[in-house]
Amino acid sequence: MILKNQIVKIIKIGLIVVILTPIMSANASYETGKIAYDEYRYDEAYLDLKAEAENGHMLAQYYLAVMYAMGHSVPRNDISAYSWFMKAALQGHPISQGNIGTMKLNSRGTDYDLTGSYYWFILAENGGFEKARKFMWRVTNYMKREDIESIQIKADDWIKNNRE
């Protein structure tokens, strides 16, 4: 009976290791990339962050977008930056949401879109990115009241479905 219990414990531990290993290694790869990024070793950071970003890691997507936006280790590419910021923004990353708003406002990597910019600034501010508030209110000076109201409703729906 004791031997059977020990075998069951070993099997359970083995299953936990098998399940957690990909999660731990993914996180380790992101962490390695983030450390390299913070130490300005952009070539190394790019490799780890790109792999994790492609696997859907929100923060890796954000840092990869920054690398494309700033031209760190890769040629500056606003379209790629916009694409990676959007992936992180759709997962709820507030700074990426603010960056999408700014890129739409400045036609960087995407078309000019005043109402789209306002929408993303609302989401960013709601997510805790306080700097988005000043941009959010600035763009309303150039918008019609009905556009402001309809975008607010759309943003409220996203917030309700994705943040709560």
Q: How far apart are CA 1 and CA 110, in angstroms?
A: 66
Determine the pLDDT at residue 119: 98
Q: Residue 23 has what pLDDT?
A: 44
Q: In angstroms, rounded to a whole number, what is the distance separating the alpha carbons of residues 138 and 119?
A: 13
Report which DSSP code applies to 144.
Answer: -
**This prediction's pTM:** 0.82
* Residue 57, pLDDT above cutoff 90: yes
Distance CA 29, CA 36 (A): 11
**Cα 122 from Cα 151, distance rounded (Å):** 9
- Examine the pLDDT at 10 and tell me if it is beyond 60: no
Residue 140 has pLDDT above 80, yes or no: yes
Q: What is the pLDDT averaged over residues 51-63?
A: 97
What the block records as the tokens of 164 is 């709560």
